[in-house]
């Protein structure tokens, strides 16, 4: 079995940027594009409509189109692709072994860029409107500034720091932001709660306590949320033009848990930031799989660059490149 210099697991902004840099450094990378995280290769941007905040696209670009450009650029420099999930790993000995449904691959170095997935409510209309660009999103920083949301009533679901932070960001654009929480008090930190109640006093945000979303209403665009009171079970409709779900993310680390060190939320630990080294020599982590703070395409791409450079230097130190 031939031994690959570098194998990259994942084909979002981090994985494909790592592939571009590695290919240009003559590492001849092999990318497992994957299917499990969302069902299609390309990462979360494959289910995003217009991307306005990635540098170099002054008029914006559709998420799938941008990821296709990433892939074509990586292929141009010789990156090879396997459109399968890695299902088994053996990092206990070198070369490392990676197994998919139809391939058994040995590798001197590995970059893990499997990303993370947003946690959703699980409502059919929520998914439909999120995938069609109908006003449902899991990232206010990504989508909140879009023209469709400006001067409109918007809703954020959640009660932690992320929900308050996203709601605070949306007040720059919205006519009002409703924060919908299933309890009658926030889980957010004290400083974030203080920020929230300042915005409430200013009329920019409004809490909707003891409420859960039972349906998202609207055919092509969101028109309202059907809310159920958690104490009385009564329902009412709240007219909004945008819904931002802020109930956390889950890193796609099921494959490596118990093999690579992860934190209590499942994100891969990088012991010596800003490097991308993991606790296993020759294994690197890039993108949202190790980033629970920023979770942006541009930061994922940046860490993919870092992982490729780290892998190149590590291989050179081993006399492998």
For residues 21 and 89, membership in a common domain is answered with yes
Tell whether 254 and 186 lie within a shared domain: no
Q: Kindly state whether residues 39 and 106 are assigned to the same domain.
A: yes
Q: How far is residue 12's CA from residue 82's CA, in Å, rounded to a whole number? A: 14
Helical residues (DSSP H) of the chain, grouped into ranges: 13-24, 63-76, 124-131, 140-143, 161-170, 190-201, 297-317
CA distances, 287 to each of 258, 260, 309 (Å): 20, 16, 14
Picking from 17, 22, 104, the residue whose alpha carbon sits closest to that of residue 320 is: 22
- The answer, yes or no, to whether residue 37 has pLDDT greater than 50, is no
90 flagged as catalytic: no
Asked if 257 and 164 sit in the same domain, the reply is: no
The string of DSSP codes covering 56-99 is T-TT-EEHHHHHHHHHHHHHHTT-EEE-S-EEEEE-SSSSEEEE
Residue found by looking up tokens 């594009």 in the block: 33
Pick from 182, 217, 245: which residue ends a domain?
Answer: 245
> 256 and 146 in one domain?
no
Structure confidence at residue 147 (pLDDT): 94
Q: Which of 59, 90, 139, 288 is catalytic?
A: 139
User: What pLDDT does residue 39 have?
Assistant: 52
Q: Is the pLDDT of residue 212 over 70?
A: yes
289 within 8 A of 253, measured Cβ to Cβ:
yes
For residues 192 and 212, state if they share a domain: yes
Residue with tokens 């294994």: 283
Q: Is the pLDDT of residue 149 over 50?
A: yes
Are residues 172 and 196 part of one domain? Answer: yes
What is the model's pTM?
0.84
Give long-range contacts, CB 8 A cutoff, 24+ apart: 229-238.
230/182, 230/183, 238/155, 238/178, 238/180, 238/208
Residues 125 and 113 grouped into a single domain: no
Q: Which of 47-56, 134-143, 150-159, 189-198 has the lowest mean pLDDT?
A: 47-56
Q: Which residue range is the domain that position 206 belongs to? A: 120-245
Can you give the CATH number for the domain in which 89 is found?
3.50.50.60
Beta bridge partners of 105: 98
The answer to whether residue 269 is catalytic is: no
Q: Which of 181, 216, 245 is the last residue of a domain?
A: 245
What integer is the mean pLDDT of 297-304?
A: 96
Helix (H) or strand (E) holding 50: strand 50-51
Average pLDDT over residues 223-230: 98
pLDDT at 35 over 70: no
Catalytic entry in 59, 85, 101, 142: 142
Answer yes or no: do 203 and 139 share one domain.
Answer: yes
Output the average pLDDT for the chain.
94
Q: CB-based contacts of 227: which residues, under 8 Å, 6+ apart?
A: 180, 208, 211, 212, 213, 214, 235, 236, 237, 238
Residues 261 and 214 in one domain: no
Contact 69, 258 (CB under 8 A): no
Contact 9, 111 (CB under 8 A): yes
For 89, 180, 242, 291, the CA distances from 123, given in Å and listed in that order, are 34, 16, 15, 27
Mean pLDDT, residues 76-85: 96
User: Which range (70-74, 250-254, 316-320) has the least confidence?
Assistant: 316-320
Known active-site residue 310? no
Contact 25, 46 (CB under 8 A): no
Confidence at residue 29, expressed as pLDDT on a 0 to 100 scale: 98
The count of domains in the chain is: 2
The mean per-residue pLDDT over the stretch 187-192 comes to: 93
Please check whether residues 124 and 180 belong to one and the same domain.
Answer: yes
- d(C-alpha 212, C-alpha 158), whole Å: 10
User: Across residues 170-199, what is the average pLDDT?
Assistant: 96
Q: What number is the average pLDDT over the span 13-24?
A: 98
Q: Could you report the per-residue pLDDT of 109-127, keeping only the tens digit for each?
A: 999 999 998 899 999 999 9
287 and 306 share a domain? yes
Task: Tell me what pLDDT residue 63 has.
Answer: 87
Query: H/E element holding 32?
Result: strand 30-32
CA dist 252 and 6 (Å) reads 20
Q: Other C-beta atoms within 10 Å of 203: how many?
A: 9
- C-alpha–C-alpha distance, residues 138 and 310, integer Å: 31
The token pair that represents 311 in the structure block: 């892998």
Q: Which of 184, 216, 245 is the last residue of a domain?
A: 245
């Amino acid at each position: 079995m031939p031994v690959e210099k570098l194998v990259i697991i994942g084909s979002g902004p981090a994985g494909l940027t790592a592939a571009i840099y590695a290919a240009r450094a003559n590492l001849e990378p092999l990318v497992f594009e994957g299917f499990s995280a969302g069902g299609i290769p390309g990462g979360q941007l494959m289910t995003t409509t217009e991307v306005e905040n990635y540098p170099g696209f002054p008029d914006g670009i559709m998420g799938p189109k941008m990821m296709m450009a990433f892939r074509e650029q990586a292929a141009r420099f010789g990156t090879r692709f396997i459109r399968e999930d890695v299902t088994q790993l053996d990092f206990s000995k070198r070369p490392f072994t990676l197994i998919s449904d139809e391939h058994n691959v040995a590798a001197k170095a590995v970059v893990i860029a499997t990303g993370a997935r947003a946690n959703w409510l699980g409502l059919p209309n929520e998914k439909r409107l999120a995938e069609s660009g109908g006003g449902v999103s899991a990232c206010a920083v990504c989508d909140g500034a879009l023209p469709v949301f400006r001067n409109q009533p918007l809703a954020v679901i959640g009660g932690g720091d992320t929900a308050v932070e996203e709601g605070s960001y949306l007040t720059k654009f919205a006519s009002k932001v409703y924060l919908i929480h299933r309890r009658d008090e926030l889980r957010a930190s004290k400083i974030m709660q203080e920020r929230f109640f300042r915005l409430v006093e200013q009329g920019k945000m409004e809490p909707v306590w003891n409420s859960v979303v039972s349906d998202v209403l609207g055919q092509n665009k969101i028109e309202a949320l059907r809310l159920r009171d958690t104490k009385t079970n009564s329902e009412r409709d709240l007219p909004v033009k945008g819904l931002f779900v802020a109930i956390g993310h889950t890193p796609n680390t099921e494959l490596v848990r118990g093999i690579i060190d992860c934190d209590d939320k499942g994100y891969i630990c990088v012991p010596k930031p800003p490097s991308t080294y993991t606790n296993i020599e020759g294994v690197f982590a890039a993108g949202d799989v190790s980033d629970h703070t920023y979770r942006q395409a541009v930061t994922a791409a940046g860490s993919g660059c870092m992982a490729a450079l780290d892998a190149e230097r590590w291989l050179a130190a081993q006399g492998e490149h």
